[in-house]
Amino acid sequence: MNRSEEYINQAEEHLLHVYNRFPVVFERGEGVHLYDTEGKEYLDFGSGIGVMALGYGDEEYSNALKEQIDTLTHTSNLFYHPPVAQAAEVMTRLSGMDKVFFTNSGAEAVEGAIKTAKKYAYLRDGFAGHEVIAMEHSFHGRTVGSLSVTGNDHYREPFLPLMDGVRFATYNDLESVKAQITDKTCAIILETIQGEGGIYPADPDFLQGVRTLCDEHDILLILDEIQCGMGRSGKMFAFQHYGIRPDILTCAKAMGAGVPVGAFLVTDRVAKASLVPGDHGTTYGGNPLVCTAVAKTAEIMEKRELVSKVAERTPYLEHILDGFVEKYDFVLERRGMGYMQGLVLSIPVGEVVKKALEHGLVVLSAGGNVLRLLPPLIMEEKDMDTMKARLEEVFAEF
């Protein structure tokens, strides 16, 4: 029995089986590569489901976290500490939002966003019982609240009844959204680019139209950028491509580049008319360690101009992926934005993901039949050439 088998057996004996894991044990990472316990190298086009924006082993990032561990890791939110002030400043500045609440995960950020919208409407109208409009085929998390606004019956059905007052509209169909609005609607929540649902960017007319609807009806627009935010689209946040601003923004994943951290951000108007002390809280959220990661990640992104480099390199990535569409009958379509791309396949995507691992390439799936690519933001053209060669080998087997 080799080391991988030992670790897999040990894990399977003690872990709750809620993931069908691939039989690979990753031990270390460097740049855009991962290495398993047997020393095999993998090119990472999954980045831990969009988390590892800076790749692996970034010395500046690692040193900042090590220094913070030696200084202070936790105080609770009853006190201030320097990293939370720094992280709050940078997140509001980069997003154009006004106030931020740090969470431990993306699902918690969605929970906070929903609570904020409900409290806003409660104070405005003087009563509770407001509704939220969400999108079909959306994904917002696994907690009861975030699952309630996730438009996928497969995830929802075993846990019904969920939160009341959620209506589902069709993504990129403005008339469908209009049809769901009632005098109880307090918020519309959607992903600027749907991720798990199959890599669907919002149409400009749709997103701008939803923004107008919200303005007309005093409904809060919640944009979920947990996966598509923090530079992945070629802008710091994907909504910045559309010339609008949400009332509430959720983010996580890449904002900490490897530590568990999320956030929801609000405008001043919402901040002044919603949550007050006692309405919301978290023991760990925004602790010194994760806030150091947030501030340092943003500093590195800005200093190295990673977001503009994503925008510059995206056409090359799209050219490679479009080439697959032209070459293979079973690659039906490419869609996406920036370093968040999907190939629609007519062959089993799960088999492609498995074969890719055998060829030293980490890729993901989405939406049932979409091969999803979420590379680290440091991914260069030469790495894309390697991805192309390895994916060609995989497709050749089909």
pLDDT digits (tens, 9 = 90+) for 81-95: 999 999 999 999 999
Closest CA to 247 of 296, 197, 315, 190: 190
Is it the case that residue 46 has pLDDT exceeding 90? yes
* 333-386 confidence digits (pLDDT tens): 999 999 999 999 999 999 999 999 999 999 999 999 999 999 999 999 999 999
Buried b (16+ CB within 10 A) or exposed e, 195-209: bbbbbbbbeeebbeb
Whether residues 86 and 97 fall in one domain: yes
- Residue 349 domain boundaries: 3-57+305-396
Report yes or no on 65 lying in a domain.
Answer: no
Whether residues 353 and 391 fall in one domain: yes
- pLDDT in the model for residue 250: 98
The last residue of one of the domains, among 240, 268, 303, is: 303
Whether residues 295 and 351 fall in one domain: no
Buried b (16+ CB within 10 A) or exposed e, 280-300: beeebbbbbbbbbbbbbbbeb
Report yes or no on 274 lying in a domain.
Answer: yes
> CATH code at 313?
3.90.1150.10
Report yes or no on 123 lying in a domain.
Answer: yes
Whether residues 209 and 185 fall in one domain: yes
Task: Provide the residue type at 395 as one letter.
Answer: F
Sheet bearing 364-366, strands edge to edge:
331-337, 340-345, 370-373, 364-366
CB contact set of 380 (below 8 Å; sequence gap of 6+) = 313
Q: What are phi and psi of 378, to 5 degrees?
A: -90, 0
Whether residues 296 and 322 fall in one domain: no
| 263: β partners | 102, 251
Whether residues 101 and 226 fall in one domain: yes
Report yes or no on 164 lying in a domain.
Answer: yes
| 216: β partners | none
> CATH code at 284?
3.40.640.10
* 206-262 confidence digits (pLDDT tens): 999 999 999 999 999 999 999 999 999 999 999 999 999 999 999 999 999 999 999
Mean pLDDT (whole number) for 319-342: 98
Quickly count: other Cβ atoms within 10 Å of residue 70's Cβ: 8
Report yes or no on 111 lying in a domain.
Answer: yes
The last residue of one of the domains, among 281, 303, 325, is: 303
Whether residues 126 and 195 fall in one domain: yes
Whether residues 112 and 177 fall in one domain: yes
Whether residues 11 and 139 fall in one domain: no
Could you give the angle at which helices 381-396 and 306-327 cross, rounded to 10 degrees? Answer: 30
Could you give the angle at which helices 59-71 and 288-303 cross, rounded to 10 degrees? Answer: 160
Whether residues 272 and 333 fall in one domain: no
The last residue of one of the domains, among 257, 286, 303, is: 303
CA–CA gap between residue 187 and residue 222 (Å, rounded): 7
- pLDDT in the model for residue 280: 97
Contact at 8 Å (CB) between 284 and 257? no
- pLDDT in the model for residue 1: 78
Distances, alpha carbon 281 to alpha carbons 32, 111, 242, in Å: 36, 11, 32
Closest CA to 376 of 232, 199, 195, 262: 232
Contact at 8 Å (CB) between 264 and 101? yes
Whether residues 194 and 254 fall in one domain: yes
- pLDDT in the model for residue 127: 96
- pLDDT in the model for residue 235: 98
Report yes or no on 42 lying in a domain.
Answer: yes
Report yes or no on 66 lying in a domain.
Answer: no
- pLDDT in the model for residue 360: 98
* 111-128 confidence digits (pLDDT tens): 999 999 999 999 999 999
Provide the mean pLDDT of the chain: 97
Report yes or no on 64 lying in a domain.
Answer: no
Query: 188: pLDDT confidence band, cut at 50, 70 and 90?
Result: very high
Closest CA to 249 of 198, 197, 189: 189
Instruction: Please state, for a pLDDT cut of 90, what percent of the chain lies above it.
Output: 99
DSSP strand pairing (131-135 vs 41-44): unpaired
Whether residues 243 and 356 fall in one domain: no
Q: What are phi and psi of 275, to 5 degrees?
A: -70, 140
- pLDDT in the model for residue 134: 98
Buried b (16+ CB within 10 A) or exposed e, 230-264: bbbbbbbbbbbbbebbbbbbbbbbbbbbbbbbbbb
The verdict on pTM exceeding 0.95 is yes
- CA gyration radius, the chain: 21
Total structural domains in the chain? 2
